[in-house]
């Protein structure tokens, strides 16, 4: 039996609207309350991955944190319409360092 998870995207309209063309479930939000509801609804609806723009994630940190230690959904931060804030990359770096035991993603000068 193959289990297929849906993929959702939450964030400001300019950043998420293009994901509709890929067939993803998209929620354009304007307020932190809308964003929290959208993430929670997508999680309940069985989305295995939810992409959230960094700008939006910054406003709903408690909601993002609540899903951090759960297997599903995976919350992945992506750059918003204003570009990257570096939050998503920092979280990936922290997770890799936790898994490997050493920071392997920083550029070493030498």
Whole-prediction pTM: 0.77
Query: In order of start, what are the domains of the chain with their CATH numbers?
Result: 6-100 (3.40.50.10580)
**Structure confidence at residue 17 (pLDDT):** 93
Is it the case that residue 77 has pLDDT exceeding 70?
A: yes
- Chain segment 32-58, per-residue pLDDT in tens: 999 999 999 999 999 999 999 999 999
Q: Which helix (H) or strand (E) segment is 110 a member of?
A: none
Q: Cα–Cα–Cα angle for 39, 75, 11, nearest 5°?
A: 50
Is it the case that residue 92 has pLDDT exceeding 90?
A: no
**Structure confidence at residue 81 (pLDDT):** 74
| Cα–Cα distance for residue pair 78/60, rounded to 1 Å | 14
Is it the case that residue 4 has pLDDT exceeding 50?
A: yes
**Structure confidence at residue 7 (pLDDT):** 93
Mean predicted confidence (pLDDT) in 98-109: 59
Q: How many residues does the chain have?
A: 110
| Cα–Cα distance for residue pair 17/27, rounded to 1 Å | 8
In the block, which residue shows the tokens 């993929």? Answer: 7
Share of the chain above pLDDT 90, in %: 59
**Structure confidence at residue 110 (pLDDT):** 47
């Amino acid at each position: 039996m193959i289990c297929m998870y849906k993929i959702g995207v939450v964030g400001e309209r300019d950043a998420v609207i293009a994901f509709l063309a890929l067939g993803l479930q998209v929620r354009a939000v304007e307020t932190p309350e809308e964003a929290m509801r959208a993430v929670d609804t997508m999680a309940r609806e069985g989305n295995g991955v939810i992409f959230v723009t960094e700008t939006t994630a910054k406003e709903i940190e408690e909601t993002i944190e609540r899903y951090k230690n759960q297997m599903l959904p995976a919350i992945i931060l992506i750059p918003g319409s204003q570009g990257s804030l570096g939050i998503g990359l920092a979280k990936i770096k922290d997770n890799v360092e936790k898994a490997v035991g050493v920071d392997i993603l920083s550029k070493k000068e030498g």
